[in-house]
């Protein structure tokens, strides 16, 4: 696959886009969570998650209809140009010390456009790899992309140490994301018109109606494919649990943990947690294709859900800095295994004329469930983050998700797995 110039270009496009996402998200987190000029409680942190993850949950299913009807190359170029302007506006709002609500409003627009671009790149992958290589290609693109986002986040926290942690420093860090956006736009422009699909470009007046019912269309298309519907159940359970666990980690780093040898708390500790998660993403990317070929997708997803539950109980409950970092590695790896499996099922089993909408629904589910998990935890968790009940509840969600996943597959024994 790497010998193909088209695949390399699409991969670089994804990496540039997700590096920009990582820088922007970490810049926003620094502005809200670790800026000495601002204060944050659990509800404010959950609101930050909603800003980062929520916008595409609203517009994504409708925008997905565009990805199935209009030239994806053209949409990627336009969306990146819009995103560059919005990043600079969000950075300016931060730099001028505006209220968190105004920064959130600007960030909502940035992340909405970012997720639209991500769905477009995912839907385009089958146009640059052979069908037999979809699982491996998706694993490479999705895993390296997620790891690059984590690297972008680490870059942002490193830049904070140089540029400062106040409003101006946060604004400068956030604006750095525009470099990745520009590179993504330039790479997308190098594809030929129509090269990224869809196979049949149709732009009738009825497209507006199709956009308006994008969520329903994508949902119906997903429900018709048992491998995708079952994967959505497992993915939703993981993301709800992950959202609650992530809120606990942020609060522990901010209010409870202290430096322990080479390990650090505070903003540096959050960077360590991001690095642990990035290592988990890379591990999942390396192992998932091999495990799926040997054991089958159903067994691999099931194992990931069981391991996620065990990691929360064995590593999360002690609530110590070292065990939390290991838990971040394991849980992120398990979630990436599930996400890669769902993406591969969509690319393999869903027709190209509805693939963009199903990916949009997948992104919506991926984001809104994490927001829901964080929001629920925010009402229950104490300020210092020490809440065994949330950890136990998150572990139980993995088992519930596993049960739903297996029930759907067993109800359709002849479907692809």
pLDDT at 403: 97
Report residue 202 CA to chain centroid gap.
30
Closest to 104 measured CA to CA, from 23, 29, 204, 155: 29
Q: How confident is the model at residue 9 (pLDDT cuts 50, 70, 90)?
A: very high
The pLDDT of residue 319 is above 90: yes
How far lies 43's CA from each of 40, 54, 251, 387, 401, in Å?
A: 8, 15, 11, 15, 26
DSSP 79-140: HHHHHHHHHHHHHHHHHTT--HHHHHHHHHHHHHHHHHHHHHHHHHGGGTS-GGGHHHHHHH
Say which residue the tokens 């909603």 belong to.
50
Question: How is residue 315 written in tokens?
Answer: 């590593």
> In this predicted model, which residue has the larger pLDDT, 26 or 38?
26
Closest to 27 measured CA to CA, from 178, 160, 161: 160
> In this predicted model, which residue has the larger pLDDT, 90 or 208?
90
pLDDT at 56: 55
The pLDDT of residue 203 is above 70: no
* 118-122, 283-287, 377-381: the lowest-pLDDT one: 118-122
pLDDT at 214: 63
The pLDDT of residue 413 is above 80: no
> In this predicted model, which residue has the larger pLDDT, 52 or 246?
246
Mean pLDDT over each residue of the chain, to the nearest integer: 85
How far lies 324's CA from each of 21, 48, 252, 334, in Å?
A: 24, 21, 9, 15
* pTM, rounded to two decimals: 0.75
Residues 337 and 318: their CA atoms lie apart, in Å, by 25
pLDDT at 400: 97
Percent of the chain with pLDDT over 90: 43
> How large is the average pLDDT for residues 24-39?
70
Residues 407 and 416: their CA atoms lie apart, in Å, by 15
Tens of pLDDT along 90-138? 899 888 877 767 777 777 788 778 878 888 888 888 899 887 787 788 7
Residues 124 and 128: their CA atoms lie apart, in Å, by 7
Closest to 308 measured CA to CA, from 320, 316, 296, 319: 316
* 199-213, 296-310, 316-330: the lowest-pLDDT one: 199-213
Q: How confident is the model at residue 49 (pLDDT cuts 50, 70, 90)?
A: confident
The pLDDT of residue 245 is above 90: yes
> In this predicted model, which residue has the larger pLDDT, 209 or 330?
330
pLDDT at 289: 87
Closest to 246 measured CA to CA, from 304, 145, 327: 327
Highest mean pLDDT out of 22-36, 130-144, 316-330, 352-366: 316-330
The pLDDT of residue 352 is above 90: no
For the chain, which domains are there?
5-197+211-411 (1.20.1250.20)
Q: How confident is the model at residue 54 (pLDDT cuts 50, 70, 90)?
A: low
Q: 3-state class of 262 per DSSP?
A: coil
Q: How many CB atoms lie within 10 A of CB 348?
A: 17
pLDDT at 146: 82
- Burial (CB count <10 Å: 0-12, 13-18, 19+), residue 217: buried
Query: How far separated are the first and last CA of the chain, in Å rounded?
Result: 24
The pLDDT of residue 390 is above 70: yes
b/e 43-73 (16+ beta carbons within 10 angstroms → b): eebbbbbbbbbbbbbebbbbbbbbbbbbbbb
Tens of pLDDT along 161-196? 888 877 888 889 999 999 999 999 999 999 998 899
Q: How confident is the model at residue 362 (pLDDT cuts 50, 70, 90)?
A: confident
- Burial (CB count <10 Å: 0-12, 13-18, 19+), residue 39: exposed
pLDDT at 15: 96
> In this predicted model, which residue has the larger pLDDT, 176 or 271?
176
pLDDT at 407: 96
Question: How is residue 403 written in tokens?
Answer: 């049960």
Percent of the chain with pLDDT over 70: 88
> In this predicted model, which residue has the larger pLDDT, 211 or 360?
360
Which residues neighbour 337 within 8 Å (Cβ) at sequence distance 6 or greater? 284, 287, 288, 291, 300, 301, 304
Closest to 234 measured CA to CA, from 329, 301, 308: 301
The pLDDT of residue 406 is above 60: yes
The pLDDT of residue 417 is above 70: no
> In this predicted model, which residue has the larger pLDDT, 290 or 41?
290
The pLDDT of residue 71 is above 80: yes
The pLDDT of residue 210 is above 60: no
Angle at which helices 5-33 and 134-163 pack, to 10 degrees?
A: 40
> How large is the average pLDDT for residues 371-395?
93
């Amino acid at each position: 696959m790497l010998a193909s110039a088209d695949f390399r270009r699409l991969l670089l496009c994804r990496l540039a886009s997700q590096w920009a996402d990582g820088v922007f998200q970490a810049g926003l987190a620094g502005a809200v969570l670790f800026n000495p000029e601002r204060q944050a409680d659990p509800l404010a942190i959950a609101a930050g998650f909603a800003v980062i993850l929520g916008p595409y949950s609203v517009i994504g299913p409708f925008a997905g209809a565009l990805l199935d009807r209009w030239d994806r190359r053209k949409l990627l170029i336009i969306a990146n140009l819009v995103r560059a302007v919005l990043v600079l506006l969000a950075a300016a709002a931060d730099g001028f010390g505006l209220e968190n609500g105004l920064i959130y409003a600007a960030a909502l627009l940035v992340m909405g456009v970012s997720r639209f671009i991500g769905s477009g790149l995912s839907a385009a992958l089958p146009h640059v790899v052979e069908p037999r290589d979809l699982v491996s290609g998706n694993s490479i693109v999705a895993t390296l992309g997620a790891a690059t986002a984590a690297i972008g986040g680490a870059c942002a926290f490193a830049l904070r140490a140089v540029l400062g942690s106040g409003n101006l420093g946060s604004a400068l860090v956030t604006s750095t994301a525009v470099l990745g956006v520009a590179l993504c736009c330039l790479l997308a422009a190098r594809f030929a018109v129509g090269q990224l699909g869809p196979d049949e470009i149709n732009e009738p007046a009825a497209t507006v109606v199709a956009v308006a019912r994008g969520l329903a269309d994508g949902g119906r298309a997903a429900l018709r494919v048992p491998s995708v519907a079952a994967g959505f159940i497992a993915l939703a359970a993981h993301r709800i649990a992950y959202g609650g666990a992530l809120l606990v980690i942020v609060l522990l780093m901010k209010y409870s943990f202290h430096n322990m040898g080479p390990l650090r708390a505070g903003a540096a500790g959050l960077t360590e947690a991001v690095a642990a998660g990035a290592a988990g993403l890379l591990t999942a990317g390396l192992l998932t294709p091999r495990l799926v070929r040997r054991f089958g997708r159903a067994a691999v997803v099931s194992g990931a859900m069981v391991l996620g539950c065990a990691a929360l109980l064995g590593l999360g409950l002690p609530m110590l800095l070292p065990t939390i970092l290991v838990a971040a590695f394991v849980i992120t790896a398990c979630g990436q295994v599930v996400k890669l499996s769902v993406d591969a099922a969509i690319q393999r089993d869903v027709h190209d004329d509805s693939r963009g909408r199903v990916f949009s629904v997948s992104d919506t589910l991926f984001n809104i469930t994490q927001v829901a998990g964080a929001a629920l935890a925010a009402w229950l968790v104490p300020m210092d983050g020490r809440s065994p009940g949330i950890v136990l509840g998150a572990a139980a969600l993995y088992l519930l998700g596993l049960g739903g996943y297996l029930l759907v597959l067993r109800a359709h024994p002849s479907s692809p797995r």
